[in-house]
Amino acid sequence: MLSKVLKKKRLQDAYYNLEGLAVEGYAILTGLWGVLNSGMVVRTGGLRMKKELVVTVLRYGFTAARQVRYAAEAAPNKVAIIDDLGQVTYKEMRDDVMALSRALCQQGYGKGSNIAVMLRNSRVPIYMLGAKGFIGANIFLFNVAASSSQLVKSIEEYEIDLLVLDEEFVGLLPSDFNGCNVVIGHADDLSNPRTSHRDWLTFQQLIERAPGSREQKLPIRPKEGPITIMSSGTSGTPKGVVHREPIAPTPVADIAKRIPWRSEIIIQQSASIFHSWGWANINIAMAHRATVILRRHFNPEQAMDDLAEFRPEGIVTSPIFIKEQLRVALDRDSDVSSVKFVVSSGNALHADLASSLIAKFGPIVSNLYGSTENSVCTIATAEDVATRPETVGKPLRCVRMRVLDDHGRVLPPNVPGKIHCRGAMSMRGYALDRDREKMVVRRGLMEIGDRGFIDDRGNLVVLGRIDDMIIVGGENVYPRSVEEALHSMPGIRDLFVQGVEDEETFARLAVWVVKDDTEAGRELTKESVQQWVRDELAEHSVPRDVIFMESLPRNPTGKVMPRKLPMPEGTRKSATV
């Protein structure tokens, strides 16, 4: 009996693997064709550019190194990056990245080297991603919200050889730190970083001191090492999610087809590069030879100043950032006519926020859904968001998606279950052996950690995290539904809803609210918040606790950190089911 079960399991696994290969193979072929027929391939330059395209793909695959080199040939004088350090063209970026690569090679870094970066948005993480491709190293994108102990443990456990971090994070390392070599990224003075270690140079100093191309050769065909992105760990060492470099630009082509990217546009990006969503968009931007506006710290006033000065045609953001930017745009009555698309991801795009964005920017708002493990899974186009804002759209061509029950059975349309998917850009696994058992795979697909359903039109509707659902009075309650209801309440600037445990009712809802600086905000009370929910939803969805705060503790990607919230009286911790 057991042998029959095992044989059936092996046959099922083989079938799911073949299904995955067929889907990814088809997606790769159609993706390559889409790229060749899109604005991502320069139509001018004749045989020289066609030769450069072939040479760079053969040498560097579809790494950031290929993007850097090819873009410098295709649009050398086009501004590539606008950041807190100034502006740099694609030719200047290529020269800097190749010099940085030679400096790293001279110091012994290359194939098999583990390089970690802990950097806010600027040219520096892009330079490091490019250098990684030129020298064949492995790169780890550390979360800039990591604590001192998490940073030190990650360096040790992931056997990091070189750490590149912004000057502001130097204090997270012990004064006698010698766990690995260190390079400073962004600094107030790039020629004199604030550190007691005089041998810690900035990335700019490495570039300036780099040997020439004759003195230090770069690999002709460097190894395509993995990119490991750190999950948002709440305690202990964050999980390292291992991604391979793209074997084809399929996701880029599919995203560009559903969102109106075009060659050499200007993009404003507030999404963090160290996160999979931000990293993906940097790849798309370089593929289009776009100009990317990056700021190390998001400031809505600065964002609107940049919009007025540089007139970007696209905004790559997350809901918490674009909500604040919208508030400033409305206060100033800003001209946003240059913007042709707004694309958001990283958090839920609530229907009320989507409607407000459309009222100001027009029906140009798109929404992407995915995870650190799976990268981009679905896209809700501008038409989807305008007509069906409750959905996150349809899967990319390179993504297989199913909604399964607790036993792994496929559920029919409109029936909620656990969302599973896998695609060409899904992770290869976790970097540490101890984390690999946490990956739940059914039918060849990975559990994404959310509950939802697929509607009659094939669009995915996300209800919330699997462990967010609580039972109140025998009824299933999703905190996200309460957030949706409260987002349209006048006077609320920011909020977060979560289930909490208590000894009497076992679970109840709590809401943390940040008041807006308006008359409606000043008049908010616990009772008015509760009544608003009561009028919009069923009685069991009314929060027992309403806690008013000056601001919510959010990480750099905009997600609320529940462990830093004050717990209501009489409760112990978040309630899960």
Which of 186, 210, 245 delimits the end of a domain? Answer: 245
Torsion of CA 123, 128, 130, 131, to 10 degrees: 140
- pLDDT, one tens digit per residue, over 249-271 is 666 777 778 898 888 999 999 99
* Intra-chain end-to-end CA distance of the chain, in Å: 34
Given a cut of 60, whether residue 436 has pLDDT beyond it is yes
Higher pLDDT, 207 or 438: 207
Q: Is 567 buried (19+), middle (13-18) or exposed (0-12) by CB count in 10 A?
A: middle
Give the residue carrying structure tokens 């089911």: 577
Tell me how many domains the chain contains: 2
Lowest mean pLDDT among 1-5, 414-418, 544-548: 1-5
Closest to 228 in 3D by CA, of 318, 134, 143: 143
- Look at residue 2 in the predicted model and tell me its pLDDT: 43
The CATH number linked to 99 is 3.40.50.980
- Look at residue 43 in the predicted model and tell me its pLDDT: 46
Mean of per-residue pLDDT scores for the chain: 86
- pLDDT, one tens digit per residue, over 207-222 is 999 999 889 999 999 9
Asked if residue 475 belongs to a domain, the reply is: yes
Given a cut of 60, whether residue 407 has pLDDT beyond it is yes
Asked if residue 409 belongs to a domain, the reply is: no
CA distance 446 to 497: 27
Higher pLDDT, 553 or 33: 553
Asked if residue 153 belongs to a domain, the reply is: yes
- pLDDT, one tens digit per residue, over 86-133 is 999 999 999 999 999 999 999 999 999 999 999 999 999 999 999 999
In sequence order, the 6+-apart residues with CB closer than 8 A to the CB of 281 are 267, 269, 271, 316, 343
- Look at residue 504 in the predicted model and tell me its pLDDT: 58
Mean pLDDT score, 492-517: 84
Q: How confident is the model at residue 235 (pLDDT cuts 50, 70, 90)?
A: very low
Given a cut of 70, whether residue 390 has pLDDT beyond it is yes
Asked if residue 356 belongs to a domain, the reply is: no
Asked if residue 163 belongs to a domain, the reply is: yes
Given a cut of 80, whether residue 489 has pLDDT beyond it is yes
Mean pLDDT score, 194-199: 88
| Percentage of residues of the chain with pLDDT beyond 90 | 55
Which amino acid would we find at residue 445? L
- pLDDT, one tens digit per residue, over 35-47 is 555 444 444 456 7
In sequence order, the 6+-apart residues with CB closer than 8 A to the CB of 513 are 486, 492, 494, 495, 524, 529, 546, 547, 548, 549
CA distance 284 to 511: 37
Given a cut of 50, whether residue 234 has pLDDT beyond it is no
The CATH number linked to 480 is 3.30.300.30
Note the pTM of the prediction, 2 decimals.
Answer: 0.84
Mean pLDDT score, 339-350: 90
Lateral strand order in the sheet of 86-89:
86-89, 79-83, 291-293, 266-269, 314-317, 341-344, 365-371, 375-380, 394-395
Asked if residue 113 belongs to a domain, the reply is: yes
DSSP character for 185? -
Given a cut of 90, whether residue 56 has pLDDT beyond it is no
- How long, in residues, is the chain? 577
Asked if residue 141 belongs to a domain, the reply is: yes
Q: How confident is the model at residue 572 (pLDDT cuts 50, 70, 90)?
A: low
Given a cut of 60, whether residue 577 has pLDDT beyond it is no
Give residue 529's domain range. Answer: 469-574
Q: Extract the tokens encoding 403.
A: 């909604």
Most confident of 2-11, 411-420, 533-542: 411-420
Which of 179, 210, 245 delimits the end of a domain? Answer: 245
Beta-bridge partner residues of 183:
164
CB 345 within 8 A of CB 369: yes
Which of 245, 265, 289 delimits the end of a domain? Answer: 245
Lateral strand order in the sheet of 114-118:
181-184, 162-165, 114-118, 138-141, 227-230, 240-243, 429-430
Given a cut of 60, whether residue 399 has pLDDT beyond it is yes
Higher pLDDT, 135 or 149: 135
Asked if residue 265 belongs to a domain, the reply is: no
- Look at residue 382 in the predicted model and tell me its pLDDT: 95
- pLDDT, one tens digit per residue, over 529-569 is 999 999 888 888 899 999 999 999 988 777 888 888 998 87
